[in-house]
Structure 1
Amino acid sequence: MDILIKKARLEEGAELQDVAIKDGKIAAIGHAIDADAKQVIEANGKVLVPGFIEGHIHLDKALIADRLPNKSGTLKEAIEVTAKLKPTFTKEDILDRAQRTIEMLIVNGTTHIRTHAEFDPSQGFTGFEAIMELKEKYKSFIDMQVVAFPQEGIFKAPGTEEMMFQAMEAGADVVGGIPYNDSPAKEHIDLVFEIAKKYGKPIDFHQDFKDDPEGMTIEYICEKTIAEGYEGQVSLGHVTALGAVPKKQLEPIIEGLAKAQISIMSLPATDLHMGGRNDEYNVRRGLTPIRALRDGGVNMCIATNNIRNAFTPYGTGDLVQTAMLAIPTAHLGGAADLPTVLPMITTNPAKALGIKDYGIEVGHTANLVLLDTESVTNAIIDLPTRLFVIKNGRVTVKTEKIVTVYR
């Protein structure tokens, strides 16, 4: 074997298991595997999980919070500030910032990314081309899906429609959209589906990112997804307006999402920061209703969105911290709720991104993280150190932790 992980905890309360890795794949799982290995990792009861999946992030505009601040903290100003900055981004600048962000993610145990890469007539394809280069450069450390993303809208920014097709021809993996920042919104959605069907690619919308439900297009997307036979191939990010929908109206929307097999990416770091900015008292949390969506059969995921820019002025690339943020703010700390959070950064986004050989099973690609905790249930709330990160059967990160308590 190439790697033998001994006495790892895969499930709460279950017997510890050895995991053997050969040629990038999980070759065996069992109790006390008797095999030689080039590298032996003594887990000693620590929790072993599949690599974390960052299902929604913007690498091309990370780490720019110090350049032009968003003083109001609103979405409107964030879009305006970023639109002013984008024409000043050089390819070298984007490569530098995006690389530093990718490496944050890698050391924190992320093995897969879906990143939205922006383009529009004012900045051209500078950011998109840089991200496509990094996808290839870092493929031994992290798998990257690139979304062709029209942040400034399609019809609002003449020339963007043609660029959408050009981005797909250049190798984009996913067709992106942002109906709430374009007009007419339904035609925007129709065009995104048209492009996706032409290239046989999945769809990822920034969706209904606001405090109130007026003007939502989520029901139209559910109908369109089913009509176009796109069940299981559509993801929606933010969807914060759903948090302001009364239960009686919310339930049929959730039923529609479940029927269309649409995945929802909650982005708590951004949504909590920007939501409720006009509330003078009893300030709302500004999150999509995670528990109701989960309980209604919707594939519920948690992701980062932005790191240190006008949309989110903080972040370290640690998905565990982001999931921890969701626990108190979305009421996910109950005994029955807590075990559902880890899947929101592992198996659930794997389903959303269409990753076929994900998980700790024989024959699957060995993308694994050994956590410094002995409880699967507490794998998020312990905020554990990532002791080892294994990508495609190779150790990519090792963290040695030394703690000395003087008494």
Structure 2
Amino acid sequence: MFDLILRRATLPDGRTGIDIGIRGGRVAAVEPNLPGEAGQEIDATGRLVTPPFVDAHFHMDSTLSYGMPRVNRSGTLLEGIALWGELKPTLVQDAIVERALVYCDWAVARGLLAIRSHVDVCDPRLLATEALLEVKKRVAPYLDLQLVAFPQDGVLRSPGAVELLKRALDMGVDVVGGIPHFERTMADGAESVRLLCEIAAERGLLVDMHCDETDDPLSRHVETLAYETQRLGMQGRVTGSHLTSMHSMDNYYVSKLIPLMAEANLGVVSNPLINITLQGRHDTYPKRRGMTRVPELMAAGLTVALGHDCVMDPWYPLGSGDMLEVAHMGLHVAQMTGSDGIAACFQAVTANPAKLLHLEGYGLEPGCHADLVVLQAGDPVEAIRTRATRLFVLRRGKVVSRCAPVQAELDLAGRPGSVTFTRS
């Protein structure tokens, strides 16, 4: 006896006609024509069933604050940071919590059930830290929220930031963050990487560092991050996010850098929606788009995820928590439009970020958590192409969101009466 059986599913690896039996909040069986009964059955009718989407890079403390105190007129990273600096003193904890909870509602409806959010700790009140720790507790039944202590203003550049970061970790923040390229000098940036990695190593924590989010080809802090990872024996526990300077680096240097990153088993998060929006702002034409070298990093064996980064905040006025939109933009900018490339971009918003977050029980194998999404698509390519509707979202085997299939009604002589934008 199962609690629920999903019938006639197509899996991301191409298997079709698969039934998924769920018992006690976990996947109990994955096989064709699964015998047995269940308290509930859902017929997937050949549609794609996948583990949930995972966002490995987000800023939940600033989400849905667009226009506060005003909009980013230049569209640049630095004006966004300046706007956030103006907004911070006026923040109210309850408002941060409410905006974050609304975004988590959006995320669940999009099948996004795990998020790593950076939280700015360069505020003596640690207001946002307290707010997101409260959000983490409240959303735990339906969403995994992992928090990164992020010294937005520079851990060395901002007075007292080291102690504030340590306080945030003491309060229960999960991961050590950093922003070395925003320190006052390249030397200070390298020193911040060393310092922050040592703090993480001492506490047995993961690291996820904003690294080289700039058009400057000489911003090379990811090299230091790879070195410190190996020096401290933290292989597989450290992630470099953005890495946009790699877009502009000399190819010979990159031919040395990527193997160093692979030796350190660094994780990588690229944020295509935001990287192509913020980078190249000082260029005329040809205009750089700034996204890091995703296919080359994947080819070297690194775990690469695609993150959303921002939704309606000082840096980005758009977004709705749709990781298929992130994958869609990523495969275009990275020119990964072959079948293998599209499949890799689907992995980059599902299994790859789950690995970077060290999520326990993620997947479709028996024993995994029954966190699943039924999409109005026949395969990952169609899911990305149509930004497929999430028909059912399951958390621990229970339906937490459902949506009717998208279908347009037509009144055309001699043609079908409706379209779903799929081939079947």
- Normalised to the residue count of structure 2, the TM-score between the two structures is 0.93
CA positional deviation for 1:216: 1.7
| Other-structure match for 1:97 | 99
| Other-structure match for 1:310 | 314
Q: Which runs of 4+ in 1 moved over 4 A?
A: none
Task: Report the Cα distance in structure 2 between the residues aligned to 1:66 and 1:375, rounded to whole angstroms.
Answer: 38
Q: Within 5 A, what are the aligned runs for 1:81-120? A: 81-120=83-122
Name the stretch that deviates more: 222-231 or 243-252: 243-252
For the residue of structure 2 that corresponds to 1:21, the secondary structure is strand
| Other-structure match for 1:241 | 245
Q: Within 5 A, what are the aligned runs for 1:81-230? A: 81-121=83-123, 124-183=125-184, 184-230=188-234
| Other-structure match for 1:231 | 235
Name the stretch that deviates more: 370-379 or 306-315: 370-379
The answer to whether 1:273 aligns with 2:274 is no
CA positional deviation for 1:263: 0.8
Q: 1:42 to 1:54 in 2, by over 3 A?
A: same
| Other-structure match for 2:17 | 16
| Aligned length in residues | 406
| Other-structure match for 2:65 | 64
Which digits, 9 at most, give the CA deviation of each residue in 1:171-217, with x for residues without a partner?
A: 11111111111241122112211211222110010000011212321
Task: Report the Cα distance in structure 2 between the residues aligned to 1:292 and 1:83, rounded to whole angstroms.
Answer: 36
Unaligned runs of 5+ in 1: none
Name the stretch that deviates more: 6-15 or 333-342: 6-15
Give % identity. 31
CA positional deviation for 1:252: 1.5
Task: Report the Cα distance in structure 1 between the residues aligned to 2:27 and 2:257, rounded to whole angstroms.
Answer: 40
Give, as a single letter, the amino acid of the residue that structure 2 aligns with 1:74: T
Task: Report the Cα distance in structure 1 between the residues aligned to 2:16 and 2:209, rounded to whole angstroms.
Answer: 42
Give, as a single letter, the amino acid of the residue that structure 2 aligns with 1:406: D
Name the stretch that deviates more: 335-344 or 45-54: 335-344
For the aligned residues, what is the CA RMSD? 1.3
The answer to whether 1:28 aligns with 2:29 is yes
Give, as a single letter, the amino acid of the residue that structure 2 aligns with 1:174: V
Task: Report the Cα distance in structure 1 between the residues aligned to 2:260 and 2:360, rounded to whole angstroms.
Answer: 25
CA positional deviation for 1:382: 2.5
Give, as a single letter, the amino acid of the residue that structure 2 aligns with 1:182: E
| Other-structure match for 1:282 | 286
Task: Report the Cα distance in structure 2 between the residues aligned to 1:189 and 1:24, rounded to whole angstroms.
Answer: 40
CA positional deviation for 1:402: 5.5
- Normalised to the residue count of structure 1, the TM-score between the two structures is 0.97
The answer to whether 1:397 aligns with 2:398 is no
**Conserved in 2, the CA contact under 8 Å of 1:12 and 1:377?**
no
CA positional deviation for 1:295: 1.1
CA positional deviation for 1:280: 1.0
CA positional deviation for 1:6: 0.1
CA positional deviation for 1:12: 5.3
| Other-structure match for 1:52 | 53
For the residue of structure 1 that corresponds to 2:214, the secondary structure is coil
Task: Report the Cα distance in structure 1 between the residues aligned to 2:51 and 2:122, rounded to whole angstroms.
Answer: 36
For the residue of structure 1 that corresponds to 2:285, the secondary structure is coil
Task: Report the Cα distance in structure 1 between the residues aligned to 2:3 and 2:197, rounded to whole angstroms.
Answer: 44
Task: Report the Cα distance in structure 2 between the residues aligned to 1:377 and 1:157, rounded to whole angstroms.
Answer: 45
| Other-structure match for 1:79 | 81
